[in-house]
Amino acid sequence: MKLKILRLVTGALLSVINIGHALANVNHNLTDSSGYPYRDLVQRFDEVKIRYSDANELNRINCSVEVKLQGQGFTASTQTARAKDFDSTPLKTCISRGEAIELLAKTF
């Protein structure tokens, strides 16, 4: 009986952890410390969103950056990147330095 209860509790906890992990993947805070131009994107635009999904390859993701300033939106081209790079620096991974600079130029 105790073993059965322990299995149920363990199963319930794993379900909560998996749900929490899935929710965590949906919403990242963009406090990127990669410096110019990535930090400036976060500071100058009203909204910065990273859209991503699993790529067909193992440990790879597809992602793109969407920014909005005064109601006008811009989207960078889609990148394919290693999941490890995305976890450490999501913004830098999902937009090239050149595209980030181009987007910043639109804020002047």
pLDDT at 22: 42
Q: Give a yes or no: residue 60 inside a domain.
A: yes
Let me know if 6 is exposed, middle or buried by CB neighbors in 10 A (0-12, 13-18, 19+).
Answer: exposed
Structural domain harbouring 48: 29-105
pLDDT at 28: 52
- Write out the chain's pLDDT in tens, 108 residues: 544 443 433 443 333 333 333 444 455 555 555 789 999 999 999 999 999 998 888 899 999 999 999 999 999 999 999 999 999 999 999 999 999 999 999 888
CATH code where residue 53 lies: 3.30.160
pLDDT at 30: 55
Q: Which residues of 35-62 are buried (b: 16+ CB within 10 A; e: fewer)?
A: eebbbbbbebbeebebebeeeeeeeebb
Q: Give a yes or no: residue 66 inside a domain.
A: yes
Structural domain count of the chain: 1
